[in-house]
Structure 1
């Protein structure tokens, strides 16, 4: 318990300080000050005991959800129970994350003896990850407001902030709803392709490919029977996410890493819905995590748990370690989806070597996320020499990036060059195109 002077004690001390110069003029005034100070001290000591007894009989508990979507409002409730024989007057303050809105929310309380009060605060956190709420600080006033006592209650709680499209689709904006609806239509329309996995036998109809007639069954039944095929199921899809410094660049929808995680979860959900097995890996200058492909739509939740709180640590990305991990653990031919970016030809030389070797065994889709700031600098008006120099550097970086992507395409790697905020639909559309081409 921490003590601090209350409003009345400060007023009393200021009053005594104002009267103290009178002792030089009227010596008898010193006795007045002395007799005023002694009762004040006695009342203060008495109030300390009351506050200590009061706070020892106060309990604080928390009620809130453990999972919420990014930038989605949620409520956190504090239940304060006063089991003492005196009224509790004061202020309660919850320690909130720095990214929470609002990040400071003190609430005044007045709880009668043996009473209970509940405070409710609406928060939203615009950045995904795991956050801690608490402890709770309670500052109580004494009955004569001479002192205030402060005590912390360790009712902490953790909350997971996931992409809002993954947690709930009810609170989405109109644009987000339209995107998900369009995505759903795309996935349904593109699945009706000609596959190589046997599905069933059926009677021959006009327009069927004669090459698919099953002659043994036709001879046994006496009329033409054809084989029906479907797009293959139970294929492995590995989503690799770069967490290096390039993915920490800001966009209109958070960082590039935020957009990559959002799209990765949507892609995983689409793949799992259609029978594929899906896994995820993430790296920067070393492998930070690897989750082998699993089947079943429910496994997307465990995938979300493993990547929802990824953050860019501003390390230089090194794909070599992840390449070695894939070579070791992913022996089955798979579709590898790499969400990353690239800067120049020199960097892509090492990068391209690893990707080219990986593409010999797997189908590789490299989604390159642009840096919006470079485009803004290139198209911004020039008003000074510094602006011109900045624009020249940005233009050179964009040129180098295009050359690097061209070299990757020339190596036979599928490249998708998109804005981070527009990644989801093109990425899943490209995934379905590759799936229907029966390359696995």
Structure 2
């Protein structure tokens, strides 16, 4: 009985009719001839309500529902969630779906309302955009069913309590993998860069055939074999590409709900995948007070899964980053000349100058690309007109910060260090473009 009452919900229509009859009873105190009408109406309401309950609860199955979740969520992307509901009644029903979505979304008014015909099954879809990596717990799936009478609702709870992990943006990984190897580069802001020159490595010695470059004749092998032999070369491959993520406090700043750290994590996943597809070796590590989350650059099977799991488990207290420690670890552990994509953020020229000696030292042995971020909120603020002296003063300060970002690019260039100054939402595209440019120019 207790379970039955718990599943029984009176709808707004019921209370509207009930309070109308109550008002009629009050009026009948002054007009006695209305008292009989009010009694008839209240009995009629009770009979219809009983009949409504009978319609809904006579069928033990009622409505059936299931929530269909992906194996994992993609951070910063719209993730589709599906709810499938079927009607086992012999009449048309109205339904309300209340899904207990994870607490991270702070969505307290989630509801889907619809109707289902006799024996109909329907799928309802909605999307969630998570902005924090970690575990997302879904609660119960609640279905409220009403008959054509519509006075009460029957609540059915489907205990689909599930946990779904939220990983770095693997949806971006799939999208950019597709466009980086098709003709659709320009549609997504990617540039098709003409290759300048060649970076070659020795492949094998083979017999000379017409058309081979005579400059590649191997005279020692020719003397041994007594006919012309040439060295064959191929484009240099399997170069180490490391994504170096600053997990310090400068990466805590949020843009569109996503921290700079998570933008860097998403870009790392994409560029690692493209590097491996381009026959290079991809690796990564993070640093703040220490260097951690190290994945050595390789092109083995399962490398992308290792990188994905490592990126998912990155934790940080956003402490002050130690560039001296970064330089020491790179010098000790990375012996081969590599492309280092350093994701960090500098707001002022003074902030750069404090770390510049370490960046210069790293750039002596490796091709270093420093990637930092435009403050897009400052840009929006500068586009607004100023109406007071205070606003003019604030806009002047904002322009100074924007100018300093450009000065940082110039300062890095002066010391032979490549850089990317990008809006957070354009980070992945600009990083891919830089990688393709470096490959095309044979800079590594």
Asked if these proteins are the same fold (TM beyond 0.5), I'd say yes
Deviations 1:350-394 (A, max 9, x none): 433543454455442212333344455557654432332122212
Residue aligning to 1:318: 321
C-alpha distance in structure 1 between counterparts of 2:143 and 2:390, whole Å: 52
Which of 280, 283, 308 is 1:279 aligned to?
283
Residue aligning to 2:241: 237
C-alpha distance in structure 2 between counterparts of 1:32 and 1:410, whole Å: 94
Instruction: Quickly say closer, same or farther: Cα 1:209–1:291, change in 2 above 3 A.
Output: same
Which of 103, 112, 117 is 1:106 aligned to?
112
C-alpha distance in structure 2 between counterparts of 1:180 and 1:317, whole Å: 39
Deviations 1:74-129 (A, max 9, x none): 8654333455788754333445689899x9562323354xx352233365859797
C-alpha distance in structure 1 between counterparts of 2:199 and 2:432, whole Å: 22
Instruction: Quickly say closer, same or farther: Cα 1:43–1:418, change in 2 above 3 A.
Output: closer
Q: Is the 8 A contact 2:77 2:169 kept in 1?
A: no
- After the TM superposition, which residues 133-144 of structure 1 pair with which residues of structure 2 at under 5 Å, given as runs? 135-141=140-146
Q: Is the 8 A contact 1:247 1:340 kept in 2?
A: no
Which of 5, 26, 47 is 2:10 aligned to?
5
Q: Is the 8 A contact 2:289 2:319 kept in 1?
A: yes
Deviations 1:129-157 (A, max 9, x none): 78676643211226754432334323366
Q: Is the 8 A contact 2:288 2:318 kept in 1?
A: yes
Which of 185, 189, 195 is 1:189 aligned to?
195
SS at match of 1:281: strand
The alignment status of 1:294 with 2:295, answered yes or no, reads no
C-alpha distance in structure 1 between counterparts of 2:263 and 2:241, whole Å: 19
| CA-CA distance at 1:342 after TM superposition | 0.9
Q: Is the 8 A contact 2:242 2:282 kept in 1?
A: yes
C-alpha distance in structure 2 between counterparts of 1:216 and 1:349, whole Å: 53
Quote the RMSD (CA, aligned, Å): 5.2
Q: Is the 8 A contact 2:98 2:112 kept in 1?
A: yes
Gap regions ≥5 residues in structure 2? 1-5
| CA-CA distance at 1:61 after TM superposition | 1.6
Instruction: Quickly say closer, same or farther: Cα 1:55–1:75, change in 2 above 3 A.
Output: farther
The alignment status of 1:177 with 2:181, answered yes or no, reads no
Report the number of matched residues.
Answer: 426
Q: Is the 8 A contact 2:251 2:345 kept in 1?
A: yes
Residue aligning to 1:367: 371
SS at match of 1:20: helix
Residue aligning to 1:427: 434
Q: Is the 8 A contact 1:100 1:123 kept in 2?
A: no
C-alpha distance in structure 1 between counterparts of 2:234 and 2:221, whole Å: 19
| CA-CA distance at 1:220 after TM superposition | 1.6
C-alpha distance in structure 2 between counterparts of 1:377 and 1:168, whole Å: 32
- After the TM superposition, which residues 10-409 of structure 1 pair with which residues of structure 2 at under 5 Å, given as runs? 10-22=15-27, 24-25=29-30, 58-63=63-68, 66=71, 76-82=81-87, 88-94=93-99, 106-110=112-116, 112=118, 115-121=119-125, 123=127, 125=129, 135-141=140-146, 145-155=150-160, 158=164, 162=169, 165-168=172-175, 177-179=184-186, 185-186=192-193, 189=195, 193-195=198-200, 197-202=201-206, 203=208, 213-222=217-226, 225-242=229-246, 245=250, 248=253, 250=255, 260=264, 263-282=267-286, 289-296=293-300, 299-300=303-304, 303-304=307-308, 307=311, 315=318, 318-320=321-323, 323=326, 326-327=329-330, 330-333=333-336, 334-359=338-363, 362-375=366-379, 377=381, 382-409=386-413
Relative to the length of structure 1, the TM-score reads: 0.71
| CA-CA distance at 1:182 after TM superposition | 8.8
Instruction: Quickly say closer, same or farther: Cα 1:16–1:261, change in 2 above 3 A.
Output: same
Q: Is the 8 A contact 1:239 1:281 kept in 2?
A: yes
